[in-house]
């Protein structure tokens, strides 16, 4: 059971990825003494990313876990309180909001910054998890550069899968799209772009049964099965990009905050504000377009500034 320093907080932050920790840095420097609850995956998706080479200020790149740890230390330096525990329920009908942790601990907060992130949908293979960050990726923008001159595979059939495949042709010599059905779900214009690209090949009616490789050596090949004929085959590749969608970590807000059809929280235009005053959503819980560390950090900054301004008006009233 965490030992909370207060019974009532000015700022509570849910999540500890780039969005949550940036919000913590900004609110802590504003002397708001925020508390951060790290959630089920402390540090978010960057903790399963090996090299981060596209975040400004790191010319030689930085390992994802190290990046998160350094950002965490920066937040703590300014007085952020951090706990490795889950928020399980929030009552928005009372002011300050009543928060319950998964161990039963209760406290109150004037504002809530939701930075719980999203998780990539995965195939559910043991080999996929074992090689995540070692040839298996869920982000072409993050990791495509590492596969320059290689043959790789993209798994999926929606817009995001085809977008990633097209993007990856900038680096790879061949991109094979593996789709379990006999037609794409993607928009017509995206299908046309992908199918016209000479570097892109498609395996229809195909499912991945195993990712073969070792951590130090990376991915070597995929073991495949045709879903119609049950015929098995192997595909030599150096990288695998799983692009079957993301799931925002917003389930505890079902019925409490507006969401789109995929569960992403809806914020007011040009803002991190939700429809409930004092509640802000930042990072991948509300961003289904960019999903980058730097955009998450930027929105974390927005949430912190919005929360600070809200508190100024609240306490001046």
Q: Which residues are catalytic?
A: 139, 142-143
DSSP 8-state symbol, 271: S
* Beta-strand pair 218-226/206-214: antiparallel
Cis peptide bond N-terminal to 96, omega within 30: yes
- CA torsion sign, 157 to 210 to 63 to 166? negative
Give dist(CA 307, CA 170) in Å, integer: 41
Question: What are the start-end ranges of the H helices in 6-118?
Answer: 18-29, 64-77
Give dist(CA 231, CA 83) in Å, integer: 50
Can you name the residues that pair with 201 across neighbouring β-strands? 176
Q: How far is CA 242 from the centre of its chain?
A: 14
Give dist(CA 6, CA 10) in Å, integer: 10
* Beta-strand pair 87-91/97-101: antiparallel
Give dist(CA 297, CA 278) in Å, integer: 20
Q: Cβ atoms within 10 A of the Cβ of 18, count?
A: 31
Give dist(CA 174, CA 233) in Å, integer: 18
- CA torsion sign, 273 to 259 to 23 to 33? positive
The answer for residues whose C-beta is within 8 angstroms of residue 140's C-beta and 6 or more apart is 154, 163, 164, 167, 168, 241, 243
H or E stretch covering 221: strand 218-226
Question: What are the start-end ranges of the H helices in the chain?
Answer: 18-29, 64-77, 126-130, 140-143, 159-168, 188-196, 293-316
């Amino acid at each position: 059971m965490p030992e909370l320093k207060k019974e009532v907080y000015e700022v509570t932050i849910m999540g500890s990825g780039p969005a949550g920790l940036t919000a913590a840095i900004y609110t802590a420097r504003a002397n708001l003494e925020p508390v951060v609850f790290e959630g089920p995956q402390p540090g978010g998706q960057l903790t399963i990313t090996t090299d981060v080479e596209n975040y400004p200020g790191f010319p030689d790149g930085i390992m994802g876990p190290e990046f998160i740890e350094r950002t965490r230390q920066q937040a703590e330096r300014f007085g952020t309180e951090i706990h490795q525990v889950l928020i399980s329920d929030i009552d928005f009908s009372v002011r300050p909001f009543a928060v319950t942790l998964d161990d039963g601990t209760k406290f109150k907060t004037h504002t809530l910054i939701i930075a719980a992130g999203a998780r990539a949908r995965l195939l559910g293979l043991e080999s996929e998890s074992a090689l995540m960050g070692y040839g298996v990726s869920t982000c072409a923008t993050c990791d495509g550069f590492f596969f320059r001159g290689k043959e790789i595979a993209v798994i999926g059939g929606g817009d995001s899968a085809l977008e990633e495949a097209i993007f990856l042709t900038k680096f790879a010599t061949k991109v094979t799209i593996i789709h379990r059905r006999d037609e794409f779900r993607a928009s017509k214009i995206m299908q046309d772009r992908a199918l016209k690209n000479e570097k892109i090949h498609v395996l229809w009616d195909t499912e991945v049964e195993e990712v073969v490789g070792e951590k130090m050596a990376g991915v070597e090949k995929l073991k495949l099965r045709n879903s119609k004929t049950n015929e098995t085959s192997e595909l030599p590749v150096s990288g695998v990009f799983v692009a079957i969608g993301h799931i925002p970590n917003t389930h505890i807000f079902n019925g409490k905050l507006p969401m789109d059809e995929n569960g992403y929280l809806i914020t007011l235009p040009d803002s991190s504000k939700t429809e409930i005053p004092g509640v802000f959503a930042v990072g991948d819980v509300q961003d289904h377009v960019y999903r980058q560390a730097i955009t998450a950090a930027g929105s974390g900054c927005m949430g912190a500034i919005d929360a600070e301004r809200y508190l100024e008006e609240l306490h001046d009233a």
